[in-house]
Amino acid sequence: MRRFFVCSVVWAMALVLLPSGVSAFQEEGTLRIGGMWALSGPAAYVGSSSNGLSSLAIDEINEAGGVEIKGKRVKLVKYAYDDACKAEEGLTIVRRLADSDKVLFSLGPTCSNVAEPVFGTLQKRLDDPNDTGLQFLFFTDTAIKFGLAKISPWAFRNVGNEPAMFDLTFQLVQEKYPDLKTVAVAYESDFAHSVSTWKGAVKPALEKYGYQVLDVVEWRFEDTEFGPQTSKLRKLNPDILVMLSHTYTTCGSMKEFKRQRVKSKLMVGITSTANTETMTACGMAVEGMIIPTNFAPINPKAKEIAELAWAKYKADSNLHSVPAYENIYAIKGIVEKVGIDNEPHTLLADRRKVRDALAKLGTFQGIIGPIKMNGDDDPVKPRDVDKAVILVQAKGGEWTVWWQPPEMEQDKQ
Amino acid sequence: MAETLIDVIQQLINGLMYGAFYALIGLGFTLFFGVMKKFNLAYGPTIMVGIYLGLIPLYVWEAPIWTVFIACVAGAVAVGFVVEFACFRFLRQGHELAPLMTTIGMLILLQEAVVIVTHALPYEYPAVFGDESWELGPFLIRPDYVAMLLTGVILVVVLYVVVNRTRFGRAMRAVAENPTVARLLGVSVNRMNTLTFALTSALGGATGFFVAISLGALQPGIASWMTIKGLVVIVIGGLGSIPGAILAGLLLGVVELQALWFLGIGYRDIFAYVLLFAFLVLRPAGLLGKAAT
Amino acid sequence: MEYYLAVLTIIGMHILLGLSVYLVAITGQISFGQQGFYAIGAYLAGIGTALWGLHLLPAMLVGMLVAGAVGFLVGFPALRVKGLYLGIATFGFGELVRLTFLNVRYTKMIDGKLVGPNGAEGFRHVSYIYDHGLTQSQYLGIIYTAVALVAVCLYILERSKLGAKFRAVEEDELAAAMVGINVTAVKVFAFTLSGLVAGLGGAMFVHYSTYIDHDMVALPLAVASVTYPMLGGLGSFWGTLLAAAFLIFLTESLRFLQEFRLILYGMLIIATMTFRPRGIIDETVMLKLRGVWRRHRSPYPGM
């Protein structure tokens, strides 16, 4: 028995210590990119969608010949790992990607609570020899909590800007429905994303547009009973209900609202809920809810991607997953423009080159419109993007476009 | 003032009915421990898998709701057999902590298995008893909670009859009192354990059905939630006591919802644990328990 | 290289967590709440360096000592309950600690950044080791020095009279009391020690990850912390150490299995407990090892 145990330990260690095969990338015709997403656990749906969209981009690029580096076309190779939305997993995966797999950059993470520590271990001051943080580039597609990219100059994000999204939302709501004045808010008080969205995005927007907040009710991310909170809302009878909760509690609470006959004239939801998962879970319960998002199949390219991603990878296309596709193309563009050496010993210099280029990228093309990357010196949101906001509404079990920027009307077919 | 009174009573009604869930879950735990003197932390996952198995007739065959109920119960019983086989059958006597760990292992395994099979997608049970609460004067009563309460009462009565008035029940109690003597008297302890598993799992399946129809969307995480609440209930109610588990469950439900109403979500969980500690410190035997261990 | 260091770092902290459960387990108390002490150590050490400007070691000491003090306080009510009851009670304690930190807000603006525990939004910017130019290998050295110190203390403890008293209390409290062992003192002391060790683990973790929030010290950590001594066996602290190392190596090396890792984890626990209910290195193993050692040393075989 002891022998078996010792053997297993040795065997397990051996498996870990297996190197990922470090040959010269350029010689073998590959460019390595990485991804860490929640592929298991409660956020698995979101993470695997991003994973699928990244595969779509990679396969497309490789089929078209690959990325051009030093006159040669090399293929993209993906190293993707599951962080299960857990900080500890993220901390070891980032070093695996950076050091063992030697990827140029990484997509992800999915969860903001993984991004926090992982970005925290990155180098904070470029060119500071005393700063021993990891010099590894992230170009995030999902983790949306406000301010994450500020943590390190190596952290870039192509995610929604929730303060801007909700500002636009309430501006439009006020224009369209000027009679609606009172608001009640519900959020998950133990889930960082909900809390920061309420405090940093929704509250200021409500104040700015002169809404009266009647009450704010809270529940926990894993709660299943919403009776008392609903009773409170029933008494208040707000014009607008703002639901800053994620899929499970949104479904549960909306059903309770129906039971207790709580009906507001308008409902606004949090960005993460605008996806197929919500529709599958409780489609009719969220009927009429308006949510700001960054993606909807409003032009032929967007439709094509949404269909392909689902058909080939069973991946849902939404504001969290489509950036994975966009980011890979953006990096391809940068690599082909500034040129890298693509050798294991030039990895650090290559990453730095791409990082600096990404900081100066300015505007690049997204699926539904241009995306502007803010540079290092932006005072409010360095290394975060500004991009078009679309508002969708749940109608008949599907997300339909409620409002899109006027300049996009021409793309609609 | 009258409004506050109405609120208090409304939340009291909610609390009692919600507490019925806790009571039924605690009942399963207490039966396990009472008869088998072992802790089955895989009871929560057993119920959860039963619930998910109930989805099969619903989504695959679009069968009527009573088949879903049967599937839930049958599924839970099947999982119960698996748990019994994997976690208990091969454990020798005298190692109290081993079943704790094997059932924790099973909890991890089952929860992850369900996530994999469902691709982490949420599913829902239909709202069998309608979308709206009944209005009884100024109060709102949830029909699904009432159904669960009635079923719970029936289940408890049936359980009582089985445990106290049948030969099977007598054999079960004999094994609980003293397995060695029971064996000497001709009771097959192994068979009793298996049957107890089946009975408790069936109870779990029935409970699970009502849990599922009252939820917004199913997620595998409810296994952990049920386990924790169930354990708190048996501590408050007293290990091994059926009426204790029922009272404790109702008490917990009432305390939680009153705390939630008056003080907010931050205090709901704190009060639940304070209640737990109060009992541990002041009355370790629980409300109606027999022993402190 | 960095990757292996990262894995070893996580193992080091989990070893400390597992050892803290071990410490109370060998007095017969099963605790599912050690992650509470871990959290206290983490938050306080983080506050120490990030908000109070302390150096690393003093801050970790603060975290450790406060966790130990809380362990002392927890030890007394723990006397009233046994077995799974204690497990549930300690889990409740762990949850109360977690819920407290969920509500604690103690922030300051430092260098234009909001630093400090901020309720559900967590506590970020605990960047001491990265700001002070400590490399991963240097920090790993610090962690394993601490682990080694704890191991040495445990080694001494297990061979001392106190260690014998611990095990006597585990075996049979009544008998132990009758031979004059102060059972209360032993059990409370064990809890205090366990609080110190877990607090140290937490203090080290927060500086490695630069971030801590309430969700990181919940049920999954409780389960992991108990798994290590249960699987490793209560015969010797080496069991816990090896179990922690093994399980974490396993989860890393099985990354290619993606979501099936946890299934394997669960099956491993079930299999181990079925074949060796007292863990891999249980008391019988220790007896055999001691027997071998004595025979090896003694010129008279069989004595």
What are the pLDDT digits (tens) for C75-116? 998 888 888 888 989 999 999 999 999 989 999 888 878 899
The confidence band for B293, taking pLDDT boundaries of 50, 70 and 90, is very low
Give A132's contacts in chain C (Cβ within 8 Å): 129-130, 133-136
pLDDT of residue C181: 86
The structural architecture, per CATH, of the domain A25-160+300-386 is 3-Layer(aba) Sandwich (3.40)
| For range A13-35, the mean pLDDT | 71
Residue with tokens 């619930």: B51
Whole-number average pLDDT of chain B: 86
Tell me which range, B53-67, B239-253, C212-226, is most confidently predicted by mean pLDDT: C212-226
Residue C299 lies in a domain: no
Locate B169 and state its tokens: 């029940």
Locate A315 and state its tokens: 């991946």
Residues 6+ positions from B193 with CB-CB distance below 8 Å: B35, B36, B84, B88, B175
- Nearest Cα neighbor of A277 from A109, A185, A394, A196 is A394
B216 with A45: Cβ contact below 8 A: no
Bridge partners of A212? A182
pLDDT of residue A54: 97
**Chains that contact B by 3+ CB pairs under 8 Å?**
A, C
Residues 6+ positions from B124 with CB-CB distance below 8 Å: A251, A281, A282, B215, B216, B217, B218
B120 with A45: Cβ contact below 8 A: yes
Q: Whole-angstrom Cα distance, residue B118 to residue C41?
A: 38
Domain ranges within chain B, ordered by starting residue: 28-131+142-220, 221-293
Nearest chain A residue (CA) to B258: A228
By Cβ distance, the residue of C130, C253, C258 closest to A16 is: C253
Locate A404 and state its tokens: 């899109």
Nearest chain B residue (CA) to C30: B97
> Is A389:A292 a contact under the CB 8 Å cutoff?
yes
Question: Over the Cα atoms of chain C, what is R_g?
Answer: 20
Give A287's contacts in chain B (Cβ within 8 Å): none
Locate C266 and state its tokens: 């669960």
Query: What phi and psi, each to the nearest 5 degrees, are found at residue C162?
Result: -60, -40
Locate B80 and state its tokens: 């119960």
Judging by beta carbons within 10 Å of its beta carbon (0-12, 13-18, 19+), is residue C108 exposed, middle or buried? exposed
Give B228's contacts in chain C (Cβ within 8 Å): 91, 219
> Is B155:B143 a contact under the CB 8 Å cutoff?
no
pLDDT of residue C226: 93
Three-class DSSP category at A113: helix
The confidence band for C263, taking pLDDT boundaries of 50, 70 and 90, is confident
> Is B191:B99 a contact under the CB 8 Å cutoff?
no
pLDDT of residue A412: 47
Give A233's contacts in chain B (Cβ within 8 Å): none
Residue C274 lies in a domain: no
By Cβ distance, the residue of A39, A121, A150 closest to C210 is: A121
C239-256 pLDDT tens trace: 999 999 999 988 888 887
Q: Do domains A25-160+300-386 and A162-293 have the same CATH topology?
A: yes
A189-200 pLDDT tens trace: 988 889 999 999
B93 touches chain C (CB under 8 A): no
By Cβ distance, the residue of C1, C10, C245 closest to A92 is: C10
Residues 6+ positions from C267 with CB-CB distance below 8 Å: B105, B109
DSSP assignment of A233-247, as one string? HHHH--SEEEEE--H
Residue C104 lies in a domain: yes
B82-107 pLDDT tens trace: 998 888 877 766 567 788 888 999 99
Q: Whole-angstrom Cα distance, residue B110 to residue B108?
A: 6
B293 with C274: Cβ contact below 8 A: no
Residues of C within an 8 Å Cβ radius of B: 30, 77, 80-85, 87-89, 91-92, 95-96, 99, 102-103, 219, 223, 226-227, 230-231, 259-260, 262-263, 265-270, 273-274, 277-278
Q: Which helix (H) or strand (E) holds A393?
A: strand A390-395
B214 touches chain C (CB under 8 A): no
Judging by beta carbons within 10 Å of its beta carbon (0-12, 13-18, 19+), is residue A80 exposed, middle or buried? buried
**Chains that contact C by 3+ CB pairs under 8 Å?**
A, B
The minimum CA-CA distance between A91 and chain C, rounded to whole Å, is: 7
User: Is the Cα torsion angle C103, C104, C109, C113 positive or negative in sign?
Assistant: negative
Host domain of residue C14: 2-228
> Is B212:B54 a contact under the CB 8 Å cutoff?
yes
Nearest chain C residue (CA) to A7: C246
- Nearest Cα neighbor of A339 from A35, A104, A4 is A104
- pLDDT, greater one: A248 or C143: C143
Interface of A with C in 29-48 (CB under 8 A): 39-40, 44
Q: Whole-angstrom Cα distance, residue B30 to residue B37?
A: 9
Q: Whole-angstrom Cα distance, residue C86 to residue A29?
A: 60
Whole-number average pLDDT of chain C: 89
A123 touches chain C (CB under 8 A): yes
Is domain A162-293 given the CATH code 3.40.50.2300 in the classification?
A: yes
B91 with C273: Cβ contact below 8 A: yes
A316 touches chain C (CB under 8 A): no
By Cβ distance, the residue of B217, B225, B260 closest to A282 is: B217
B172-219 pLDDT tens trace: 888 877 878 888 888 888 888 888 889 999 999 999 999 898 887 888
pTM assigned to the model:
0.91
pLDDT of residue C48: 94
Residues of A within an 8 Å Cβ radius of B: 40-45, 48, 189, 218-220, 222-225, 227-229, 231-232, 247-256, 258-261, 277, 280-282, 285, 314
- Nearest Cα neighbor of A335 from A345, A322, A346, A319 is A346
B97 with C82: Cβ contact below 8 A: no
Kindly state the DSSP code that residue A402 receives in the 8-state scheme: E
Give C88's contacts in chain B (Cβ within 8 Å): 231-232, 235, 276
A40 with B11: Cβ contact below 8 A: no
Question: Does pLDDT of A354 surpass 60?
Answer: yes
Q: Which helix (H) or strand (E) holds B200?
A: helix B189-214
Residue C123 lies in a domain: yes
Side-chain-side CA neighbours of residue C84 (13 Å): 25
Q: Whole-angstrom Cα distance, residue C234 to residue C22?
A: 7
Domain ranges within chain A, ordered by starting residue: 25-160+300-386, 162-293
Number of domains observed in the structure of chain C: 1
| For range C150-161, the mean pLDDT | 92
The amino acid at C12: G
Q: Whole-angstrom Cα distance, residue C102 to residue C117?
A: 9
Q: CA of C238: how far to CAs of A4, A14, C168, C297, in Å?
A: 17, 21, 20, 22
pLDDT of residue A381: 92
Strand arrangement, sheet containing A398-403 = A212-219, A182-188, A240-244, A266-269, A289-293, A390-395, A398-403
Residue with tokens 């967007």: A302
B82 touches chain C (CB under 8 A): no
CA A200, chain centre distance (Å)? 17
